[in-house]
Amino acid sequence: MTGVWLNRIWHAVLWIPVVFFSHPLLAKNLYGDSNLNLPVGVTHMSREVYSLHMIIFWICVVIAVVVFGVMFWSLIRYRKSKGAKAAHFHENTLVEILWTAIPLVILVVMAIPATATLQKIYDTSEAEMDVMITGYQWRWHYEYLGQDVSFFSNLATPPEQIDGREQKGENYLLEVDQPLVLPVDTKVRLLLTSNDVIHSWWVPQLAVKKDAIPGFVNENWTRIDEPGIYRGQCTELCGRLHGFMPVTVKAVSKEDYQIWLAEQKQQAVEKAAGNEREWTLPDLMAQGETVYNTYCAACHMVNGQGIPPAFPALAGSPLTTKAEGRATHIELVLYGKAGTAMAAFGSTLSAADLAAVITYERNAFGNNTGDVVQPAEIKQQLKPTE
C-alpha cells in the first residue's frame, strides 16, 4: 500500500518541473490530454483560449524569472556576512516611472488578444440548433428545442465505487447514464438555466463554462470539430452532491446524430405505450427501484432513511405507509414542494416511471403497504391538456 503511494508521490514530483519546460506548441503532441495543463480542446474557441492561456502563462514566467532573479542575486551578492555595506539611495524617479510604465505595456499586450477572443465567445449568432440545459440538484436536464427530445443526465458511477467497496472505474465520477449528444461541425447554442440553486456547466475540452441561474437564461455556444466523448463537472457549489453531477458530451457525425435523434423519438413512443398498459406489482417494483436509485436516493438515501430535517425519511413515514397519505404522496412526487429541494417530477418522468417509483416507495424499506399505483391513475392526475 505505501509502495503505491510512494510511487505516486514520486510520479507527481517528477512531473512538476516538466510543465515549466513544455513548449506550448508541443504540449498537445507530448502529453495529449496531459493532466498538468489545460486541455487544448476540440473546438476553435478552446484552442484560442488555450493559446491565450499559454501566452499569459509564459509572460508571467518571464516576469517571475526577472523579478526573482534580481531579488535572489541581491540576496546572495549583498550578504552582510560577506561584508556588504549598505548603499544610501532610497529613490530614483526614472526607475520608478519605468517600472510603472513597462507593466502597463505588458498588460496592454495581454489585453488585446483577450479582448478579441472574448468578442468571439459572445457571438452566438447563426446557431444551427438550440439546446436548453437546466441544472437540478443534482443532475442536468437537456432539452433539444423544437425536437420534442429531452432527458435527464445522471451520475452513472455506482455508490459501491464511491465508498470503496468496488474498484473505481476509468471514468469514476465523470460518467452519466445519458450524455448530451451533439453533432460535430454544427454551431450549437446552449441556453442555461436552473430549477433550484445556481449551478455551472463546464466542459474543459469545449472551453465552455457558464452559470445556470434560477429564473434567468444564459447563453453560450460551441462548435465541436472531432467526434468523441468530452467530460466535465458542475463548478458552482450547489449543495450536498455538488461533486456528483458530471457533464458528459458525446459528439457524433451529423448522420449519426440524425439516427440518434430518430431513436430518441422512437423511444419516446415506446415509453408512451408503457403508460397505457396495466403493470403488475413485481414489474412496478423492479422499474421503481431503478427510478428511485437514480432520482430519489441522492436525498432520501437508498434505504429510504433520508437525512432529516432537509430530506425527510420515506421509510415508515405516514406519507408512504398510511392510506390517507397516498394522495399527498402522489401529489408531492408529481408537483414537488415549493421552497424545498423536492422537485416536481410530473413533467419530467413518464407516467409509468412515476407510478413505478411511487409504488416502490410504498412497498420498499419495510413499508409493505401492498399499494399499487398504475400509470393510468397518474395520467388521470396529470390531465394532459393538449
Partner 1 sequence: MSSLPLNRQQQGIRRTLWWLLLMLAGSVAFTVALVPLYDVFCELTGINGKGVNSARVLQSTGIDQQRNIEVQMITRTAAGMDWHFSATLSHKAVHPGEIHQMWVRMQNLGNTTGRARAVPSLSPAEASNYFLKLECFCFDDQQLAAGESLEVPVVFQIRSDLPEDLHRLTLAYTLYPQTGP
Partner 2 sequence: MTSNSYSSAEGHIHEPPLRGIKRWLLTTNHKEIGSLYLIFSLVMFFIGGTMALVIRAELFQPGLQLVQPEFFNQMTTMHGLIMVFGAVMPAFVGLANWMVPLQIGAPDMALPRLNNFSFWLLPLAFSLLLSSLFMEGGGPNFGWTFYAPLSTTYAPPSTNFFILSIHLAGISSILGAINIIATILNMRTPAMKLMDMPLFVWTWLITAFLLLAVMPVLAGVVTMMLLDINFGTSFFNAAGGGDPVLFQHLFWFFGHPEVYIMILPAFGIASMIVPTFARKRLFGYRSMVYATASIAILSFVVWAHHMFTVGLPLAAQLFFMYATMLIAVPTGVKVFNWVATLFHGSISFEVPMLFTLAFIVQFTIGGLSGVMLAIVPADYQYHDTYFVVAHFHYVLVPGAVFAIIAGVYYWLPKWTGFYPDETLGRWHFWLSVIGVNLTFFPMHFSGLAGMPRRIPDYALQFADFNLLSSLGGFLFGMSQLLLIWVVVRCVRGGKPAPDKAWEGAEGLEWQVPSPAPLHTFSTPPEFIPERDSPGRA
User: 320-359 mask for partner 2 (x: CB under 8 A)?
Assistant: ------------------xx-x------------------
φ, ψ of residue 63 in degrees (nearest 5): -60, -45
Number of residues lying near partner 1 (CB under 8 A): 39
Q: Whole-angstrom Cα distance, residue 296 to residue 333?
A: 10
Name which position in 25, 30, 118, 272 contacts partner 2 (CB under 8 A). Answer: 118
User: 302-331 mask for partner 1 (x: CB under 8 A)?
Assistant: -----------------------------x
User: Residue 64 interacts with partner 2 (CB under 8 A)?
Assistant: yes
User: Residue 71 interacts with partner 2 (CB under 8 A)?
Assistant: yes
User: 142-181 mask for partner 2 (x: CB under 8 A)?
Assistant: -------------------xxxx---x-xxxxx-------
Distances, alpha carbon 368 to alpha carbons 163, 296, 315, in Å = 29, 18, 10
Question: By C-beta, is 303 or 347 nearer to partner 1?
Answer: 347
Distances, alpha carbon 187 to alpha carbons 121, 180, 302, in Å = 12, 15, 40
Is the omega angle on the peptide bond into residue 17 within 30 degrees of 0, that is, cis?
no
Distances, alpha carbon 261 to alpha carbons 62, 148, 153, 183, 255, in Å = 50, 10, 16, 10, 10
Question: By C-beta, is 90 or 383 nearer to partner 2?
Answer: 90
Q: Which residues does residue 210 pair with via DSSP β-bridges, in sequence order?
A: 201
Number of residues lying near partner 2 (CB under 8 A): 107
Name which position in 219, 226, 263, 276 contacts partner 1 (CB under 8 A). Answer: 219
In the range 202-261, which residues lie near partner 2 by CB under 8 A?
202, 204, 207-211, 213-216, 218-219, 231-244
Name which position in 337, 366, 368, 380 contacts partner 1 (CB under 8 A). Answer: 337
* Partner that binds at residue 126, options partner 1, partner 2, none, CB closer than 5 to 8 Å by kind: partner 1
DSSP state of 176: B
Q: Whole-angstrom Cα distance, residue 105 to residue 118?
A: 20
Enumerate residues 6+ apart whose C-beta is below 8 A from 134. 140, 141, 142, 143, 192, 193, 194, 195, 212
Distances, alpha carbon 101 to alpha carbons 1, 71, 104, 179, 328, in Å = 55, 20, 5, 50, 70
Q: Which residues bind partner 1 (CB under 8 A)?
A: 122-127, 130, 132, 134, 145-146, 189, 191, 193, 195-196, 214-219, 331, 334-340, 342-344, 346-347, 382-383, 385-386
